[in-house]
Structure 1
Amino acid sequence: MKASIHKIAAIAMALLVFFSTMSFTVDMHYCGDHLVDFSLSSNVDTCLMNAKMTKSPSDCPMMEMKMDCCSDVEVVFEGHDDLKLSLDHYSFDQHVFVVSFVYAYINLFEGFEADEVYFKDYSPPPLIRDVQVLHQTFLI
C-alpha cells in the first residue's frame, strides 16, 4: 500500500514538473466571430478573404473591396525555465560549505562487518533452577 502511494506521488510530481516546464503555441484564425482554423503545431491556414484583399485595387472591382474582417490570434504558453540551476551562480563560500557537508555526511557512516559475532567468547549464565517449571507457566 505504501509503495503504491509513493509511486503515484512520484508520477504526479513528475507530471507536474513536465507540464509546468512545457511551453506551446496555439494559433487560431477568425473570420468575423467564427473560428475558421485552429492549430497547435503549425501556422493556421488563412481564408479566402485575405487572398482577395492582397490583390491590387486596380484588379478588383470596388464591390469586392471590403474591410478585412479576418484576424489571426496567437496564444503562447511559456513554461518555467528557471528549474535548472547552474554551478556558476554559487560563490566560493557556498562551494566550501557543500564540499564540507558532503565530506562530513559520507564519513558519518562507518562500515561494519555483518559476520562479526560479539558474544562468541561469553558463555550463558548458569541455570540454577527452571523458573517456568517452578511457577508452572508454560507457553502453548
Structure 2
Amino acid sequence: MKNGIHKLCSFSLALLVLFSTLSFTVEKHYCGDTLVDVAIFSEAKTCGMEMDGPEKPKPCCDDEVDVVEGQNELKLSSFEDLDLKQLQFLAVITYAYINGFQDLPKETIPHKNYAPPNLVCDIQVLDQVFLI
C-alpha cells in the first residue's frame, strides 16, 4: 500500500511541476466585434479581409495574443534550509501519517454463535395485528 501511495504522490508532484512551468499562447482573431477564430499553440485563422502592404490600413480586423507564462526558475532547497517551525510541522505531519494507518483491534461479536428460537406460529397473523 505504501508503494502505491508513494507512486501516486510522486506522479502528482511531477504533474504539478510540469503544469507550473508550462507556458502557452492563445491567439484570437476578431473581424469587427465578431470572434472568428481562437487558437492555442498555433496561429489563428484569419477571415481574409486583411489588406497587404504598409500603405493600406486594416479595415476592421484585429488580432489579440494572450501569453500565459509559466514559472521559469525552480527553487531547489535542502532540508537544512528549513527553520524551526517548518521542522516541527514536518515532524507532526510525519508522526500523524505513520500512526494514522494502524490496524484496529479485531472486534468480538458476542452473539455470533447464537441461533434465534424457532417460530411455531406467526403471532401477528394469529392475533390479526398488522402494521400499516
Larger Rg: 1
TM-score by length of 2: 0.47
Q: When the two structures are superposed, what TM-score results if normalisation uses the length of structure 1?
A: 0.45
Structure with the greater relative contact order (CA < 8 A, sep ≥ 6): 1 or 2?
1
